[in-house]
Structure 1
Amino acid sequence: MPPPNLSQNITSLQGVKITGSSSIWDINIACESSTAGTITSVTPRESPEDNQTPLVLPALTHPHIHLDKAFVHNAPEYAHLLPCSGTFPEALTFTTKAKQSFNYSDLIKRGEWLLAESVSSGVTAMRAFVEVDHTVQMACLDAAVTLKDRWKEACHIQIVCFAQDPIFSGEHGEENRRLIEKALTDYPQIDVLGTTPYVESSVETSKQNIEWAIDRALELNKHVDFHLDYNLDPNKEPLVWTVLHVLQKRGWNTRSTQKRVMLGHCTRLTLLTDKEWHRLSRFIHEHDLPVSFVGLPSSDLYMAAPVGHENPQQKARGTLNIPELIRKYDLDAVMGVNNVGNAFTPWGSADPLFLACVGVGVYQAGALEDTRLLYECVSTRARAAIGLPLHSSGLTVHEGGHPDLILFHDRDDTGCGVSRPRTSVAEVVWDPPQRSSRSVIINGRVHSVKDYESLDSVYKFED
C-alpha cells in the first residue's frame, strides 16, 4: 500500500471558519518544499457565515504510539493470542509470543494500517515506538525505517528505539542492551531512546536503566522517553524522582539541550497528594527540566488497576488527569493513543479525536474551555512535547503558522441524506465526526484525491 496521494500545492483555502471568530476567512499558503510551508495571511471575507463552511483546526499528533504492535488482533496469524484474562501479565506474555512471529512484511502491513488510519484522521506527526531486543533483533526497526521514508511526505515519523524488555536484569538483559547500543550506532534514523524501567527485576536495576538511558541520550543528542511508574501500588517508590534527580545532576535542561524528556503512563502518580504534586512541579521548574507527561487513558483504564480487591466493584482504575496537571500544577502534559488492537489495548481507535472525546468523560471536562485544551493535547501541545517545531500555540490558524490542518466538513455520513455540521472545537471533541467528514492538509497539500477534486470551491491550487 502506498502512502496517500497528495495534491499539488494549495495557494489558498477560501471561505473557511477558524476558532474564535464568527466570520469566514481565506487562508493563503506558500510552500517552499515538500516539508517547509507557511501560512502567509489569514484574511476575512465579506460573505455572510454559512453553515456549510468547513471549520479549520491544526492537524493532530501522536505523541506516543507503538508502530510494531499495532493491530496484532486483526492479523489472522495471531488469532491464538487474543485476550483471555485481560491482565497486564497476560498482555506481556502474549505480546512476547506474538513478537516471535514478527517478520518484515507483517510489520510493514500492520504499520501501514496504522499510518493510513492515522493520516486519514488528521495525524501529520507521530512518535513511533519500535522494539529492539533478543526476540525481534532489528526487524521492527528496519520496518520503521522503511515506513518513515515511504510516508515522509504524509507524516513525520519520529522513531523511538525502544527497550520493552529488561536491559539490566534477567537472562537476556545484557544481550538486549547490546542490541540497543548497536541500533543506536547503526541507525541514524533513530530520534528517541525509550526504555521501560519497571520491567527490571529490582528497584536498583530500574534505576540503572534510567541512568543509562539518560546518559546515552545525552551523549547521542537524542530525546529520551520512559514508560514509567505503571502501577497503582502505594507501597512502590515512584521512580519519577529518580528520573528528575538524574536529569538535574547530568545538567539536562532547556539551556543545555533542545532535546526533551517524556514520561508515559505514570499511573502511580495518581496516588500523590496535592503537596507532592506541587513539590514535583516546583522541582521541574526550578531546574528548568524539559519534561512532559503523556497520559495514555485507553491503555491505563484497561490495564492499570490495583491488585487484591475482594469486591470487583471497588477495583479502581488510574490514569493521569491531564487537564489538572496543566492547569493546577503548571506541568507540560499531553495525551497519546499508545496501543491499537493488541493485548495491551484491544479497544479504541488510532484517531486522536477519539482520545480527546474519552477525556471529556474521564476528566469530567465538558466545558468549552476544556474541549479546547483536550484538542490541544492531541494536536499543538502534543507536537511541541515531542520536540517538533511549532509555529503557533493554541488552535487559532494565523499568519506564520505551518499549513498542517484539518478541515471539518458538513457531510452526510449516515446514508440518510441528513448531515449535522460541526462548527466549533467543542462539537468536534464532544462527538468527533467520521474521517469522511475531514480533509487533511499536509504542508499545504490535500491528502485525498477525492477531496480536492470535489471541493475545488474551497481549494485554490498553483497554476
Structure 2
Amino acid sequence: MPPPELTSQINSIHGVRLAGEPSIWDIQIGYPADSPQGTVTSVTPHEPSHEPSTKDDFESPLALPALTHPHIHLDKVFIHSAPAYAPFLPTAGTFQEALSSTTKAKQQFSHSDLIRRGEWLLAESVASGVTAMRAFVEVDHTVQLICLEAAIALKTQWKDSCDIQIVCFAQDPILSSEHGEQNMEFLETALHRYSQIDVIGTTPYVESSPEAAKQNIEWAIDRTLKLNKHLDFHLDYNLDSNKEALVWHVLQTLKQRNWTTHSTDKRVMLGHCTRLTLLTENEWARLAAEIHENKLPVSFVGLPTSDTYMASPPRTNADCKPPQDRPRGTLQVLEMIRKYNLDAVIGVNNVGNSFTPWGLPDPLSLACLGVGIYQAGSQADAELLYECVSTRARAAIGLSPSHSALCVKPGCRPDLLLVHDRDDTGCGVSRPRTNVAEVVWTPPGKLNRDVVSGGRLKISPFAAADSDALYQF
C-alpha cells in the first residue's frame, strides 16, 4: 500500500475560519529556496468575490494546526486485527498477560507483517490529520533489529505525509534478567548502525530491582547525551504507594549530567507516570520546582486509553475493599499545565493489542475522551485538549521550538487540519463545527477532514470536491 498522494504545493487557502477569530481569512504560503518545507507567510481578511453567495461564514472550513502523536507504538499496532496473532488475544486483561502474550506474538513478526500493520496505523492517522508522530519500535533478543528496519522503511516512504520520529525502544530489561545482556547488545548495535534513530527509549520499571531500574535510567541519560538524541522513558507505570517513584531519580540524574535547556536542545519525555497521581500536593509542588528551577527540558505524556485499561492498584487476599472498588489512574494533564506550569500532553500509545485493545489512532477521539477523564467541559478546556494533541504535542517531542496557540499565524509550518461540514449522513443535511470546542466534543469523521502536510493537500475523494475554490496552487 503506497503512502497517500499529495497535490502540488499550495500557494494560498481562501475563505477559512480560524480558532478564536471572527470572520473568515485567507492563508498565504511561501516556499523558501533554502528550506524543504513551506511557511505561512501571511494571514489576511478574506475579500469576498462580487458574485452573490448564500454561503454562511460558519460553513467555511475551520483551519487548525495539524495533529500529532507524541507517543505511539508502531510495531505492536493492530496485532488483534491480524489473524496470525489470534492465539494471543487477552483473556485476563492484566499487564503481565499483555507483556507475556506480546512477547510470544513478537516471535512471529516479519518485515512484511510489520510494514502492513504499520501502514494501517499511518493511513488511519494521516487521514485523521496527523502529520507528525513519535513512533516506538522495540529492539531486543526476540525481534533483534527487524522492527527498527521496518520503521526506517516506513519513515522514508511516508516522509512527505508524516514526519516519523523513530524511538529505538527497550521494552525489556537491559541491565538484569536472563536476556538483559543480549538486549543491551542489540540496542548498542542499532544505535551504532542507524542514523535514522531520533530517540532512545527504555522501560526502567521492568528491571528486576530498583537498583537495576536506576542504572537503566543513568545508562539511558548518559548514552542519549553522548549521541545527541532525545530521550523517552516509560516510567512509574503503577498505582502502588509502596513503590518508590523513579521520577525523582530521573530528575536527579538529569541535574547531575547538566541536561538543561541551555546545554542541549534535546528533550526528555516521561510516559505513563501513573504512580505520580498518588503524590501529595507538596510533592507536586516540589516536582514542578525541580524542573523549573533547574531548567530541565522535561515533558510528560499521559496515555489515558492505556492507563485506564491497565493501571490499577495491587489487590491482595487481605484486601477489604468491596469488589466494585477498582480505581484507575492517569496523569491529570490539564491540572499539571494550569496549576504547576508543567509541560504535559496526551497520546494514543497502543492501538489494537493486549496493552490497549480499544480506541482509535485518532488524536481527536483522545481529546474527546479527555473531556470526561478530566471533567473538562468548558470551551477553554477543549482548546487546551486540542493543543495537547497538536501544537503542544509537536513541541514536546522536539519538532518545534515551543508550542503556539491554535490560531494559524505567519511563521507557522503549513501542517493544517481543515474541518468541513460536508454531509456524511446520506440524509442531505450537515452540521458545522463552529469552533474548536465542537471539534473536540464531537469529532468530525474523516470525510470532513482535509489534511495539509508541508503545504501540500492529501488527495481524497472528499477534498477534491471543493478544492478549486478553497486551494490555489
Q: TM-score range by the shorter chain?
A: over 0.9
Q: State the partner residue of 1:134.
A: 141
Contact 2:382 2:440 (8 Å CA) reproduced: yes
Q: 2:398 aligns with which of 366, 387, 395?
A: 387
Amino acid at match of 1:315: R
SS at match of 2:426: coil
Query: Could you tell me how far 1:50 is from its partner in structure 2?
Result: 2.2
Contact 2:395 2:403 (8 Å CA) reproduced: no
Q: State the partner residue of 1:90.
A: 97
Are 1:222 and 2:222 an aligned pair? no
Q: 1:81 aligns with which of 88, 100, 108?
A: 88
1:342-361, CA deviations, whole angstroms, 9 ceiling, x for partnerless residues? 00000000000010000000
CA 1:392–1:231: 2 relative to 1, 3 Å: closer
Q: State the partner residue of 1:438.
A: 449
Are 1:350 and 2:367 an aligned pair? no
Contact 2:392 2:403 (8 Å CA) reproduced: no
Q: State the partner residue of 2:301.
A: 294
Task: Provide the rounded CA distance (Å) in 1 between the counterparts of 2:263 and 2:15.
Answer: 45
SS at match of 2:8: coil
1:138-163, CA deviations, whole angstroms, 9 ceiling, x for partnerless residues? 00000000000000000000000000
Q: State the partner residue of 2:52.
A: none
Which runs of structure 2 are paired with 1:209-248 in the superposition (5 Å)?
Answer: 209-248=216-255
Which runs of structure 2 are paired with 1:33-432 in the superposition (5 Å)?
Answer: 35-47=36-48, 49-308=56-315, 310-390=321-401, 393-432=404-443
Amino acid at match of 2:329: G
Contact 2:15 2:470 (8 Å CA) reproduced: no
Aligned positions, number? 462
Task: Provide the rounded CA distance (Å) in 1 between the counterparts of 2:381 and 2:330.
Answer: 17
Task: Provide the rounded CA distance (Å) in 1 between the counterparts of 2:468 and 2:426.
Answer: 24
Q: State the partner residue of 2:22.
A: 22
Query: Could you tell me how far 1:32 is from its partner in structure 2?
Result: 4.0
SS at match of 1:141: helix
Task: Provide the rounded CA distance (Å) in 1 between the counterparts of 2:472 and 2:4.
Answer: 18
CA 1:458–1:314: 2 relative to 1, 3 Å: farther
Query: Could you tell me how far 1:411 is from its partner in structure 2?
Result: 1.2
Task: Provide the rounded CA distance (Å) in 1 between the counterparts of 2:32 and 2:340.
Answer: 40
Query: Could you tell me how far 1:456 is from its partner in structure 2?
Result: 2.7
Task: Provide the rounded CA distance (Å) in 2 between the counterparts of 1:18 and 1:387.
Answer: 25
Unaligned runs of 5+ in 2: 49-54
Query: Could you tell me how far 1:40 is from its partner in structure 2?
Result: 1.0
Query: Could you tell me how far 1:399 is from its partner in structure 2?
Result: 1.2
1:94-142, CA deviations, whole angstroms, 9 ceiling, x for partnerless residues? 1001000000000000000000000000000000000000000000000
Q: State the partner residue of 1:6.
A: 6
Q: State the partner residue of 1:455.
A: 466
CA 1:35–1:3: 2 relative to 1, 3 Å: farther
SS at match of 1:328: helix
Query: Could you tell me how far 1:461 is from its partner in structure 2?
Result: 3.2
Contact 2:141 2:186 (8 Å CA) reproduced: yes
Task: Provide the rounded CA distance (Å) in 1 between the counterparts of 2:44 and 2:367.
Answer: 30
Task: Provide the rounded CA distance (Å) in 2 between the counterparts of 1:345 and 1:397.
Answer: 34
Contact 1:24 1:49 (8 Å CA) reproduced: no
Contact 2:394 2:403 (8 Å CA) reproduced: no
Query: Could you tell me how far 1:312 is from its partner in structure 2?
Result: 2.9
Query: Could you tell me how far 1:307 is from its partner in structure 2?
Result: 1.9
SS at match of 2:19: coil
Amino acid at match of 2:353: N
1:415-453, CA deviations, whole angstroms, 9 ceiling, x for partnerless residues? 222211111000000010001110001111111242443
1:145-190, CA deviations, whole angstroms, 9 ceiling, x for partnerless residues? 0000000000000000000000011000011011101100000000
SS at match of 1:119: helix
Query: Could you tell me how far 1:401 is from its partner in structure 2?
Result: 1.0
Task: Provide the rounded CA distance (Å) in 2 between the counterparts of 1:319 and 1:230.
Answer: 9
Contact 1:7 1:449 (8 Å CA) reproduced: no
SS at match of 2:377: coil
1:167-225, CA deviations, whole angstroms, 9 ceiling, x for partnerless residues? 01100001101110110000000000000000000000000000000000000001110
CA 1:126–1:35: 2 relative to 1, 3 Å: farther
Query: Could you tell me how far 1:35 is from its partner in structure 2?
Result: 4.0
SS at match of 1:8: strand
Contact 2:448 2:462 (8 Å CA) reproduced: no
1:325-372, CA deviations, whole angstroms, 9 ceiling, x for partnerless residues? 000011000000000000000000000001000000000011010001
TM-score by length of 1: 0.98
Unaligned runs of 5+ in 1: none
Amino acid at match of 2:87: H
SS at match of 2:69: strand
Contact 1:392 1:401 (8 Å CA) reproduced: no
Task: Provide the rounded CA distance (Å) in 1 between the counterparts of 2:275 and 2:192.
Answer: 34
Task: Provide the rounded CA distance (Å) in 2 between the counterparts of 1:174 and 1:220.
Answer: 21
RMSD of aligned alpha carbons: 1.3
Contact 2:63 2:418 (8 Å CA) reproduced: yes
Amino acid at match of 1:461: Q
Task: Provide the rounded CA distance (Å) in 1 between the counterparts of 2:402 and 2:462.
Answer: 26
Amino acid at match of 2:16: V
Task: Provide the rounded CA distance (Å) in 2 between the counterparts of 1:460 and 1:275.
Answer: 52
Task: Provide the rounded CA distance (Å) in 2 between the counterparts of 1:264 and 1:282.
Answer: 19
Task: Provide the rounded CA distance (Å) in 1 between the counterparts of 2:304 and 2:71.
Answer: 12
Contact 2:71 2:348 (8 Å CA) reproduced: yes
